[in-house]
């Protein structure tokens, strides 16, 4: 019986080894589209003068690097036509302004000129409440074996509000985002949290809270749903809707850019796991 058992194992190993083959799939590559990462974040307690906008393009599936866009003209104007120029750090696709002036409630227009095309987007700068209490729960998660970090903030009851939260942790290789609205919490205390079984004492959790527009809230809700595999988004299914931002190509509307132009205060705190 031992010999038969060994023969079966050998045949099984041979079968899976011989069937292993690298398959190269020929994928169609569409024309590159401009991607605009234009989040103007005014972190509370700072003057908000230094801001960065990053320009890249889409690339093929097999590319290992993201193509950057150099040589573009990038600027933001406010409602009184003050111009804030963003100058590229050479060959990086990162355009930096050192004299931006943020103002809550002000309306700003972004202009990007690249490759004979002009792209624009207009958005208002939104206020953000302060992050209040931060509470740790060592019995978090569905099974009660996660460490949970929860933070609280007070909603402004005089208006409808929309928020984006971001958690940066050492146990995840990417930030964790969530989009919130105050529909059921108008004027009351709100909260959000992150939990993970791999948290340990000494880990630092970066917490960011941002006030955003309703349109950006809807945009990020779609993005988050697609990334996290929401309802109906199986591995071989297409997204139920396209996530289109607010950036419009004024030269050729069909050649739209990807990304979003948003502005807002940022309430930021770091919490150390105990």
In a domain, 97, yes or no: yes
- Please list the pLDDT of the chain residue by residue as tens digits (274 residues): 444 444 444 444 444 454 555 555 555 556 888 999 999 999 999 999 999 999 999 876 667 788 999 999 999 999 999 999 999 999 999 999 999 999 999 999 999 999 999 999 999 999 999 999 999 999 988 888 899 999 999 999 999 999 999 999 999 999 999 999 999 999 999 999 999 999 999 999 999 999 999 999 999 999 998 887 654 444 445 545 567 899 999 999 889 899 999 999 999 999 999 9
Domain encompassing residue 260: 34-127+242-265
* pLDDT for the residue numbered 26: 56
In a domain, 234, yes or no: no
Domain of residue 58, CATH code? 2.60.40
In a domain, 60, yes or no: yes
> Considering its fold, how many domains does the chain have in total?
1
In a domain, 88, yes or no: yes
In a domain, 253, yes or no: yes
Neighbours of 194 (CB within 10 A): 24
In a domain, 43, yes or no: yes
In a domain, 257, yes or no: yes
């Amino acid at each position: 019986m031992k010999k038969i058992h060994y023969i079966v194992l050998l045949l099984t190993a041979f079968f899976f080894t011989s069937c292993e083959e690298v398959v190269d799939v020929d994928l169609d590559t569409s024309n590159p589209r401009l991607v605009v990462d234009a989040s103007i974040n005014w972190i509370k307690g700072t003057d908000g003068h230094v801001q960065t906008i990053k320009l890249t393009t889409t690339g093929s599936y097999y590319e290992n690097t993201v193509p950057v866009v150099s040589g573009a003209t990038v600027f933001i104007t406010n409602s009184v036509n003050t111009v804030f120029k963003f100058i590229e750090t050479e060959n990086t696709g990162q355009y930096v302004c050192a004299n931006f002036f943020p103002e809550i409630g002000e309306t700003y227009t972004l202009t990007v000129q690249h490759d004979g095309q002009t792209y624009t987007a207009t958005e208002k700068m939104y206020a953000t409440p302060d992050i209040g209490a931060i509470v740790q729960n060592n019995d978090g998660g569905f099974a009660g074996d996660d460490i949970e970090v929860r933070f609280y903030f007070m909603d402004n009851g005089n208006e409808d509000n929309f928020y984006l939260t971001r958690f940066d942790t050492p146990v995840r290789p990417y930030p964790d985002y969530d989009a919130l609205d105050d529909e059921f919490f108008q004027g009351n205390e709100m909260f959000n949290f992150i939990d993970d079984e791999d948290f340990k004492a000494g880990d630092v959790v970066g917490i960011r809270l941002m006030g955003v527009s309703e349109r950006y809230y809807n945009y990020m809700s779609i993005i988050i749903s697609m990334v996290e595999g929401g309802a109906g988004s199986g591995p071989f299914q297409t997204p139920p809707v396209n996530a289109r931002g607010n950036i419009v190509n004024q030269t050729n509307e069909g050649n739209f850019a990807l990304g979003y132009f948003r502005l807002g205060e940022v309430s930021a705190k770091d919490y150390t796991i105990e």
